[in-house]
Structure 1
Amino acid sequence: MKKVIVKVQLLDERARRKGMKAVSGLPGVESLSMDMKDQKLTVIGDVDPVVVVNKIRKLCPADIVSVGPAKEEKKKEEPKKEEPKKDDQKKKEEELLKAYLAHNPYVTQHYFVRSAEEDPNACVIC
């Protein structure tokens, strides 16, 4: 894997799209990004830097800034959180349920609904 940075002189959005399309068609390109402020094109993958520059030079002037290995970002390992024990978790759930039932006394009402498939004599409005 290589990281190739190319300085390009693109004047407008149309030229940028053409350049991106030309380079993205090369075999081995994995990532492609363009910074319009600095006018730099970054290509990551198994590509030859000379081929990348030749493709871009057909559209606009281009120069190789740097070629190097693609650095993979290392993810920081998060410390594993200890799961609360099941007994503690059950106690917390029971306490929350009691608090909810005390706040909302109408939870215990149950509704029974019969569908037309279960009872063919049920009233159905079509």
Structure 2
Amino acid sequence: MQKAVLKLEANCEKTKQKAMATVCRLSGVSSVDVKEGNLTVTGEIDVFMIVKKLKKICYTEIISVGPAKEPEKKPESKPEQKPEVISHFIPPPYPPYYHYNGCVYENPNACVIS
């Protein structure tokens, strides 16, 4: 991975957009950024091919070329382990529910409680 910073003398926004579109179409380019007249390109790139393509659009200078900085990997911290709470709650057994569908008039000796 390389990072190249190029100076563009593009006066209008249309020229900057055309330069970005040209660079984005090249193979190996992973990111393109334009700030204050500087074009930053990162990826597996050939800087001289990029400059050759951009000189057709506007004046281009190479400011710097170097290895791209890899984002620093932070050591992964393990999440705090909370003590495991074991619940031994067993619900009390309920007596089975019996439902009688009978009519009082069919059995006059049946006990009915209201």
Calculate the TM-score normalised by the size of structure 1: 0.64
State yes or no: 1:74 paired with 2:68: no
The DSSP-based 3-state class of the residue aligned with 1:86 is coil
Give 1:79 deviation, angstroms.
2.4
Give 1:21 deviation, angstroms.
0.4
Aligned to 2:43: 45
What whole-Å deviation, never above 9, does each CA across 1:7-45 have from its counterpart, x for those lacking one? 00111111111000001111111111111x2x1101111
Aligned to 1:22: 22
- Mapped to 1, the partners of 2:73 and 2:61 lie a distance apart of 33
Which structure 1 residue ranges, 4+ long, deviate > 2 Å from structure 2? Answer: none
Point out where structure 1 has 5 or more consecutive residues left out of the alignment.
91-126
User: Taking every aligned residue pair, what percent have the same amino acid on both sides?
Assistant: 38
The DSSP-based 3-state class of the residue aligned with 2:22 is helix
Point out where structure 2 has 5 or more consecutive residues left out of the alignment.
88-114
- Which is helix-richer, 1 or 2? 1
Give 1:78 deviation, angstroms.
4.2
What whole-Å deviation, never above 9, does each CA across 1:46-77 have from its counterpart, x for those lacking one? 11111111111111101000111111011222
- Mapped to 2, the partners of 1:83 and 1:12 lie a distance apart of 57
Aligned to 1:56: 54
- Mapped to 1, the partners of 2:55 and 2:78 lie a distance apart of 51
Calculate the TM-score normalised by the size of structure 2: 0.70
- Mapped to 1, the partners of 2:26 and 2:45 lie a distance apart of 8
1:27 alignment partner AA? S
Q: How many residues align?
A: 87
2:30 alignment partner AA? E
- Mapped to 2, the partners of 1:41 and 1:85 lie a distance apart of 54
Give 1:81 deviation, angstroms.
2.3
Aligned to 1:7: 7
